[in-house]
Amino acid sequence: MPHFTPEQQAIISAAGDLKINAVAGSGKTTTLLEYARAQPARTRILYLAFNN
C-alpha cells in the first residue's frame, strides 16, 4: 500500500461533497482511486477535470 500525505489521507477519509484543486504531478489519480476504493461498493462518483 502506498504512503499517502496528510492531505491525501484527508481526501480519502472524507465524507460528503469534495472539491479538490491540485497541480500536475500531485497524485490526483492515485488519490481518486484510493478514495473510490474506500467508498461503499455501489457508491456513485462524479469526477470532473478542467484543463487549459
Q: Judge whether residue 6 has pLDDT over 80.
A: yes
Locate all alpha helices (DSSP H) within 1-52, ordered by sequence: 6-12, 28-38
12 neighbors 35 (Cβ within 8 angstroms): yes
Nearest to 46 by CA among 18, 13, 27, 24: 18
Query: How many domains is the chain partitioned into structurally?
Result: 1
Chain centroid, CA 23 distance in Å: 13
The residue range of the domain holding 18 is 1-52
Q: Judge whether residue 18 has pLDDT over 80.
A: yes
Q: Judge whether residue 24 has pLDDT over 80.
A: yes
Predicted pLDDT at 1: 60
Q: Judge whether residue 37 has pLDDT over 90.
A: yes
- For 35, other C-beta atoms within 10 Å of its C-beta total 18
Q: What is the mean pLDDT of residues 40-48?
A: 90
pLDDT grade for 52, boundaries at 50, 70 and 90: confident
Q: pTM, whole model, 2 decimals?
A: 0.80
Residue type, 31: T
